[in-house]
Every structure is written in C-alpha cells, then in structure tokens.
C-alpha cells in the first residue's frame, strides 16, 4: 500500500539558494562600472612628499591595477593642512594635482578604476608635531600633548575642505572618493561617545554626534555631483570601552543610506590612537613600529607599546561576524574588508550579500594575487600577518617578504 504521507526518511526538499556571485563579474557602483568585485583597501603608502604624489606612488597603483583589482584606493589624503597624521602625508592642494592626474591615467591604462581616501586625522594628526584637533580636548599619546577641540568655524572650514578635496579628485580623473569615518580620525571621533564629550549641537545624542560626519559626506556628494562614486569607510565599532559600538554604528549607516549621499559603505573597526591592532589582527611588531617614531614617542612605544598594541589572533575573514548584521540592516551596497586571503572567503563574503571585497595586506604581499586567482594559479594568498608592513608606512610601504624586484612602486 502506498501512503500519501511524506516519507520521514526522504531528504527534505531544499529550496534552491541564490546562485553564488562570481567574484570576477562586473559591478555598477553608482556612476562607475567596476570590472570585478575586488578593491585594493587603503594601505598608507608613504610615497608622497611636500609636492604631493611621487613617481613611486604612481607606479604603486599602476602595479596594483595591473594585478587585477577593479578599484585601487590611494590611501589617506588629508583635506586640510592640520589634518595630516604624519608629516609627509598628501594634502589635497593644487600642487598634488599633476601627481594625482598621473595616478588616474596609470590605473586607467591598466583597465582599473581609482579611488582616494580623504579625511582629517583629528587627534591622530598630533603625530605631525602640530596640535591635533579633536571633538573634545584629549591627551594624544602620539604627540605627548593635549589636542584642541574644533569650534564651529573649524567645522565649517573642514566641511568645505572635504568638498574641495573631492572636487579636486574628480578634476584629476578619479572614479571614486572614500570618506574616512573610521579608526578614531576626526569624523569617527565625532561619532564616538568616548572621544566626543561636547554638549553643543555636535555632541551628546547620536543625532548630534553624527551631524558633522553626515554634513561632510553631504558636502562631498554635492561637490562631485554624480562624477564620482562616494564610499564611506565606517567603524562598526571602535573596539574600545565607551567608544562607538555596532548598534549605534548601524544607526549611522542607516542614516547615511536615508540621506542618499553614499554609494557604498566599507565596514571597518578599531582606533589608530587607542586600539590599532583591532583593525588588523595578527602580530603586533612593537619594536619595528617604535623605530618609525622620533624620541620621546619611540621610547614610550618601546616601553609601553605592548599595552597600547594589544594584539589579536588573526582569523580569516575576521570581521564577518561583526559585518553580517550590517548587511541585514541595510540595502546600500557594502564593501567587506578584514582578513581576506582565500578566494573561498571572497565567495563566502559575496554569498553573505556583500557587493565588493577589499583587500589590504594580501595585495601588499602579492600585488598580482587577483590575477592569480582569476587564472587559477592561486586560491589563497601568502601574507603571514606579521604586520611588519605597518612599520614601513613612513618611508615606502611594502611587504618585507616580497622580492624587491616585484615590489610595486620600487
């Protein structure tokens, strides 16, 4: 006799899942077409001088583009003179125009698009020797002195500087601009309840704390007027007690989405001032990092660096658990960043619903890794997360394990 009840030992009928996204499929990001889903994350190159980008910086991004990414990101460019984190960081002023234009031409010549990260380093800028600016005065361990709180005039001036910097990039032929809203830099500092202790219209409630960051992004959006894709690199969490946490960060992201000022958000975390290793994971090369600073900061780092550079074990795709709830809460395109070495992780992240995947250290280690993934020559990268590349950022960032003949920019 044949029963019409379902057989209990039959395999459950599986609804077919959505087809996996091909990492090599093109993607339209706002006004620009990307050839695949790979982005080179900003890794400060240390290849600018007082006149802006050097030939080395042009060659660095040409080589990364030739290695297969869709979008290469020129790392932190300060929108204001006092917004540099280190003395030789590029300020988006007229003298940077020829070098930036050459970077755009070189990257386009390799079939990729180019972005630049713009921002104001805030309290981190104290490393230049000038008095750092921040939402509220604080002691900066980098400069060994107190920062100065920005006032209403500073906020208006810096907002205009964000717009001017983005306009300059568009005029130089860039395809995208990435507004830095992470790592304790000025806009991220405003979001942080720990760093922003103001009780005026720029501090207190989250609504007030996000006013300046939203205003800066809106100014950028208006300035580029559809010529560039606008990306925000946002902290999901500062990784410090009392700092911005994921729940508030999601509200910020949703607000940016509602503002309609952003084409994508790249999700990061940590604080360059208070918990830098949170954003990298892996080894903390304390002595190498200390050597990059002048005295007395060098001595301070040699003695107390272990405390400041609290290290976290590296895990492949380490920000996925933090980032997934952002995917659920948002419709905006999202860029995943954090510990991607394996092509399988790229596929997983795309299956999680992220549109793009940014990679930093893996591409310093192997600038042509994406091409090697594509050709089948590699399925995983060779970065060992020793983080010694971080100690190079003042004089030409590179992976110490890479053969000098293969180094981009060298």
Ligand X SMILES: Cc1cc2nc3c(=O)[nH]c(=O)nc-3n(C[C@H](O)[C@H](O)[C@H](O)COP(=O)(O)O)c2cc1C
Q: List, in order, residues 6 or more apart from 304 with CB less than 8 Å away.
A: none
212 versus 278: smaller Cβ distance to ligand X: 278
b/e per residue 162-184 (b: at least 16 CB within 10 A): bbbbbbbbbebbbbbbbbbbbbb
What is the binding site for ligand X (CB under 6 A)?
A: 41-44, 75-76, 117, 180, 182-183, 233, 268, 279-280, 337-340, 359-362, 389-390, 393, 397
CB of 390 to ligand X, least distance (A): 5
Using CA atoms, how far apart are residues 129 and 328, in angstroms rounded to an integer? 43
Q: Which is nearer to ligand X, 45 or 148 (CB)?
A: 45
Residue nearest to ligand X (CB): 360
- Residue 294, burial from CB neighbour count under 10 angstroms (0-12, 13-18, 19+): exposed
Annotated catalytic residue 185: yes
**Annotated catalytic residue, options 185, 318, 336, 373:** 185
Between 260 and 400, name the residue whose CB sits nearer to ligand X: 400
Q: In this structure, are residues 213 and 261 in contact, taking their beta carbons and an 8 Å threshold?
A: no
Q: Which residues pair with 91 in a beta bridge?
A: 78
Burial classification of residue 387, based on how many CB atoms lie within 10 Å of its CB (0-12 exposed, 13-18 middle, 19 or more buried): buried
Nearer to ligand X, 41 or 223 (CB): 41
Listed residue (53, 94, 97, 55) closest to 75, CA to CA: 53
Nearer CB in complex with ligand X: 43/134: 43
In whole angstroms, the minimum distance from the beta carbon of 221 to ligand X comes to 20
d(CA 337, CA 350): 12
Q: Least distance to ligand X from the beta carbon of 345, Å?
A: 10
Min dist. Cβ of residue 231 to ligand X (A): 11
Among 244, 252, 232, 286, which residue's Cα sits nearest to residue 269? Answer: 244
Please state the closest distance from residue 16 (CB atom) to ligand X, in A: 32
Give me the active site residues, please.
185
């Amino acid at each position: 006799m044949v029963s019409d009840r379902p057989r209990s030992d039959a395999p459950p009928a599986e609804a077919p899942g959505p087809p996996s996204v091909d990492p090599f499929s093109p993607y339209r990001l706002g006004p620009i077409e990307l050839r695949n889903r790979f982005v080179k994350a900003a890794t400060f190159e240390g290849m600018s001088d007082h006149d802006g980008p050097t030939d080395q910086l042009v060659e660095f991004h040409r080589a990364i583009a030739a290695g297969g990414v869709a979008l290469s990101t020129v790392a932190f460019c300060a929108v204001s003179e006092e917004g540099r984190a280190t003395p030789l960081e590029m300020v988006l002023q007229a003298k940077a125009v020829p070098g930036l234009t050459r970077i755009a031409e070189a990257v386009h010549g390799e079939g990729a698009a180019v972005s630049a990260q713009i921002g104001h380093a805030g309290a981190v800028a104290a490393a230049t020797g000038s008095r750092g600016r921040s939402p509220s005065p604080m002691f900066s361990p980098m400069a060994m002195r107190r920062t100065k709180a920005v006032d209403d005039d500073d906020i208006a001036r810096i907002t205009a500087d964000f717009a001017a910097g983005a306009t300059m990039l568009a005029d130089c032929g860039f395809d995208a601009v990435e507004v830095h809203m992470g790592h304790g830099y000025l806009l991220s500092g405003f979001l942080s309840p720990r760093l922003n202790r103001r009780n005026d219209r720029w501090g207190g409630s989250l609504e007030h704390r996000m006013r300046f960051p939203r205003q800066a992004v809106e100014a950028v959006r208006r300035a580029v007027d559809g010529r560039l894709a606008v990306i925000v690199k946002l902290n999901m969490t500062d990784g410090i007690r009392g700092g911005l946490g994921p729940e508030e960060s999601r509200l910020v992201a949703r607000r940016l989405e509602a503002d309609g000022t952003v084409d994508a958000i790249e999700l990061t975390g940590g604080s360059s001032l208070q918990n830098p290793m949170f954003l990298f994971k892996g080894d903390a090369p304390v002595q190498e990092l200390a050597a990059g600073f002048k005295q007395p900061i060098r001595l301070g780092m040699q003695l107390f660096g272990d405390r400041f550079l609290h290290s976290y074990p590296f895990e492949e795709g380490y920000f996925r658990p933090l980032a997934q709830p952002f995917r659920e809460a948002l419709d905006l395109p999202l860029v995943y960043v954090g510990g991607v070495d394996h092509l399988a992780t790229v596929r997983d992240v795309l299956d999680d619903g992220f549109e793009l995947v940014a990679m930093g250290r893996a591409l310093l280690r192997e600038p042509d890794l994406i091409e090697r993934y594509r050709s089948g020559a590699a399925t995983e990268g060779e970065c060992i997360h020793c983080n010694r590349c971080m100690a190079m950022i003042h004089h030409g960032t590179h992976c110490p394990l890479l053969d000098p003949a293969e180094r981009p920019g060298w």
